């Protein structure tokens, strides 16, 4: 590929096609009032939009998540962003891959193209500003100088406020088919996998170690939504606040191996999770990451509490 190391402001891998961001995603839940409470307590900005809700991070006008009401929790759609000059070539690429374009969902305001992944998940491809990071996201691990108290009083501790959507981990009936489709049609690349159990995909124009990931299940679905925060302390304060608010089910604090991020997962009211995450590995646009196929014990977490028995259960498959 063209050498681009050291160029200021470069945000695109030259000469190659691929989505640059997970722009947003949609999900239906059985109770919007419960969703408003959960995500508001989690630290997100929740806004009423039409018949549903939009989820934002503080200080940003980018909508990361659309929520609608339905009979049960269900992953609705994925929306990926591309650079304007890549839209038509990407559309052609998708059609040449044998993917049939479909009409946008009823009531959607979309200027993109729509199609389905191999397991029926609706996907939108549209021109959008790059919302995935262009550099490794900042991480605070500074120690306190001597003679000062580092921790604030708990009563005065600041709320944890996620900075952006980090990634989604979804369920897939066939990990190999998911890798093939999302790489062939959307230009994502495999970062790492653990056999046919889990895989992680990144964007070619600079992204975290994974923009999306898939875990094996009998049916498609959403396992967790990951939100980037600035420190391990942010993770801990967020987890404690959620526990104080009644959301005690979860898993953490721990550190993953593939991606290397620190984590704490909070169980939502519908059997999936929202993750506080920080310091994930970053793959620059001028780096060809060497994907590995890892043994399960080396592909999940480096340290942390014992995994909950139903952590990888797909409630959408019931």
- The model's pLDDT over 53-66, given as tens digits with 9 standing for 90+, comes to 999 999 999 999 99
The alpha carbon dihedral of 229, 179, 188, 100 has a sign of negative
- Rounded Cα distance between 207 and 135, Å, is 8
- Which residue has tokens 């509490």? 305
Flag whether pLDDT at 3 surpasses 60: no
Q: Which domains, ranges and CATH numbers included, belong to the chain? A: 21-127 (3.10.180.10), 162-317 (3.10.180.10)
Q: Are 81 and 20 in contact (CB under 8 A)?
A: yes
- The model's pLDDT over 154-186, given as tens digits with 9 standing for 90+, comes to 888 899 999 999 999 999 999 999 999 999 999
- The model's pLDDT over 81-101, given as tens digits with 9 standing for 90+, comes to 999 999 999 999 999 999 999
Confidence class of residue 105 from pLDDT cuts 50, 70 and 90? confident
- The model's pLDDT over 114-169, given as tens digits with 9 standing for 90+, comes to 999 999 999 999 999 999 999 999 999 888 899 998 888 888 889 999 999 999 99
- Rounded Cα distance between 227 and 209, Å, is 14
Flag whether pLDDT at 204 surpasses 80: yes
Flag whether pLDDT at 111 surpasses 90: no
Q: What is the pLDDT of residue 144?
A: 86
Confidence class of residue 308 from pLDDT cuts 50, 70 and 90? very high
- The model's pLDDT over 223-261, given as tens digits with 9 standing for 90+, comes to 999 999 999 999 999 999 999 999 999 999 999 999 999
Average pLDDT over residues 270-299: 95
Confidence class of residue 1 from pLDDT cuts 50, 70 and 90? very low
């Amino acid at each position: 590929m063209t050498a681009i190391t050291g160029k200021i402001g470069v945000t695109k891998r030259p000469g190659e096609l691929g989505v640059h961001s997970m722009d947003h995603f949609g999900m239906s839940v059985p109770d919007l009032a419960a969703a408003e409470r959960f995500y508001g307590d989690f630290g997100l900005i929740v806004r009423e939009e039409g018949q549903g809700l939009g989820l934002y991070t503080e200080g940003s006008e980018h909508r990361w998540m659309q929520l609608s009401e339905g009979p049960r929790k269900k992953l609705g759609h994925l929306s990926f962003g591309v650079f304007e000059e890549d839209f038509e070539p990407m559309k052609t690429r998708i059609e040449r891959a044998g993917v049939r374009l479909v009409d946008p969902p009823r009531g959607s305001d979309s200027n993109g193209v729509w199609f389905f992944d191999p397991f029926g998940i609706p996907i939108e491809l549209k021109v959008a500003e790059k919302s995935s990071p262009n550099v490794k996201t900042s991480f605070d691990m500074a120690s306190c100088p001597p003679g000062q108290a580092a921790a604030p009083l708990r009563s005065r501790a600041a709320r944890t406020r996620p900075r952006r959507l980090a990634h989604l981990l979804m369920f897939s009936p066939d990990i190999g088919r998911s890798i093939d489709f999302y790489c062939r049609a959307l230009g994502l690349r495999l970062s790492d996998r653990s056999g046919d159990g889990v895989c992680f995909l990144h964007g070619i124009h600079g992204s975290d170690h994974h923009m999306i990931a898939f875990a094996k299940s009998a049916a498609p679905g959403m396992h967790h939504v990951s939100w980037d925060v600035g420190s391990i302390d942010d993770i801990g304060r967020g987890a404690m606040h959620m526990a104080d608010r009644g959301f005690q089910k979860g898993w953490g604090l721990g550190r993953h191996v593939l991606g290397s991020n620190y984590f704490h997962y909070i169980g939502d009211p519908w059997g999936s999770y929202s993750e506080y995450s920080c310091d994930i590995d970053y793959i620059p646009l001028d780096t060809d990451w060497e994907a590995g196929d890892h043994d399960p014990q080396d592909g999940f977490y480096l340290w942390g509490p014992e995994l909950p028995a139903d952590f990888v259960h797909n409630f959408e498959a019931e």
